[in-house]
Amino acid sequence: MEREHIVEKELRPMNGAVALLLLLLGIAASTAVFIFGVVNLVRAERVWGPTPYGAIGGTLLVLGILGWIVFPILMAGLKIVRPNEARVFLFFGRYYGTIKQAGFYYVNPFCTTFSPAYEQAVTKAKQKAEAMEAEGKLSLVQVKLTKNISLKTQTLDNGRQKVNDVLGNPIIIGAVVIWRVADPTLAVFAVENYGEFLSIQADSTVRNIARLYPYDVFDDDPDNDGVKEKTLRGSAMEIAQSMKEELQKRVADAGLEIEEVRITHLAYAEEIAAAMLQRQQAVAIIAARQKIVDGAVGMVKMAIDKLGDEEVVVLDEERKAAMVSNLLVVLCGNKDAQPVLNSGSIY
């Protein structure tokens, strides 16, 4: 059986203030008719013999009572829609229409408003009340119940989850999703609960995208070959954009719009965090040593060239090698050198 496709129908209902005024006038008219009916019945009792007062009075009484019954029922059609909210209406189980504009309106009084968020709030309130009663506590549960569909921008924080990156390293990643309801009709009828649907899809999207990239790439990796590839740590903005595009495809049929996805937490899992920290420290130490050695070699070369050019001292190859060795020890050592002064011949 194919799923029914519902096309959104935006209602243009009657102004609620005008409808309320007419209904109040109707109730007032019903009251007046009832009073006239009572007066005619009193006149009929005072006048003996055939008289039209009795029939007229009975008819007016019936009309007045019907007015008191009908007009309060019609008041159920008065609806309020707040800014950045929408109402989806059903008429005896069939889709009737949607109101997106804020205001005070009058719709068919037999229409009902449907909202998954309202149903979920009622269910959670009942479960919480039952749990409190089971514990012997007073079940006073207060929840904010509304049948309106919020069109405001909302934030979904799915917490932190453990996944494996493309290299198989376990990492902890967390992301928040900034979203809103773009089509309230689809959000209500396309999925059971669009809030839970978005949460599950966001969780799956973050996992699938995170598995496509490494947490980080080290310069000493044999497979790196100097190629700069995207990583979760170094290309967080680009990867978050990929998550947004993927998540938007998944929730488009539910009438939801993803405005932004942000990675809020990224770290190695506890079981490998210490080892990866040592590796990062080793890479940093090697890189620092390499810079120190490059600088020291340049300084030694400059010193030897300057001594030779200015003929300060003439050194043979053996003495040059000794000088290079001593200078490299001084420049590359971790501790301050303790020189030994020679006051005699250089030989």
pLDDT of residue 304: 73
Establish if 280 belongs to a structural domain.
Answer: yes
Domains in the chain, number: 3
Same domain, 311 and 236: no
Residue scoring higher pLDDT (129 or 108): 108
Residue 176: strand pairing partners:
157, 262
Establish if 124 belongs to a structural domain.
Answer: no
- Last residue of one domain, picked from the residues 268, 300, 318: 268
Task: Give the predicted TM-score (pTM) of the model.
Answer: 0.68
Same domain, 264 and 159: yes
**From CA 164, how far away is CA 205, in angstroms rounded?**
14
The CATH number assigned to the domain holding 195 equals 3.30.479.30
Establish if 141 belongs to a structural domain.
Answer: no
**Encoding tokens for residue 329?**
């020890």
Same domain, 236 and 288: no
User: At which residue do the structure tokens 């030694």 appear?
Assistant: 300
158-186 average pLDDT score: 89
CA dist 161 to 171, 178, 217, 269, Å? 8, 18, 22, 10
Burial zone of 86 (CB within 10 Å; 0-12 exposed, 13-18 middle, 19+ buried): buried
Residue scoring higher pLDDT (314 or 226): 314
Range of the domain at 34: 14-82+96-111
Residue scoring higher pLDDT (62 or 290): 62
Same domain, 290 and 321: yes
CA dist 289 to 280, 294, 333, Å? 14, 9, 10
Q: pLDDT tens digits, residue range 73-92?
A: 999 999 989 899 899 998 88
Q: pLDDT tier at 227 (50, 70, 90 boundaries)?
A: very low
The residues, any chain, with a CB within 8 Å of residue 200's CB and separated by 6 or more, are none
Same domain, 157 and 263: yes
- Last residue of one domain, picked from the residues 249, 268, 287: 268
Establish if 196 belongs to a structural domain.
Answer: yes
Helix/strand/coil for 162: strand
- Last residue of one domain, picked from the residues 212, 237, 268: 268
Same domain, 215 and 288: no
Same domain, 161 and 233: yes
pLDDT of residue 116: 72
pLDDT of residue 137: 57
Q: pLDDT tier at 241 (50, 70, 90 boundaries)?
A: very high
Count of C-beta atoms within a 10 Å radius of residue 205: 25
Establish if 251 belongs to a structural domain.
Answer: yes
Same domain, 223 and 252: yes
Same domain, 209 and 229: yes
Same domain, 183 and 245: yes
Establish if 297 belongs to a structural domain.
Answer: yes
Establish if 125 belongs to a structural domain.
Answer: no
Same domain, 207 and 299: no
Establish if 137 belongs to a structural domain.
Answer: no
**From CA 36, how far away is CA 61, in angstroms rounded?**
8
Same domain, 179 and 262: yes
Percent of the chain clearing pLDDT 70 (strictly above): 69
Q: Which amino acid is at 311?
A: E
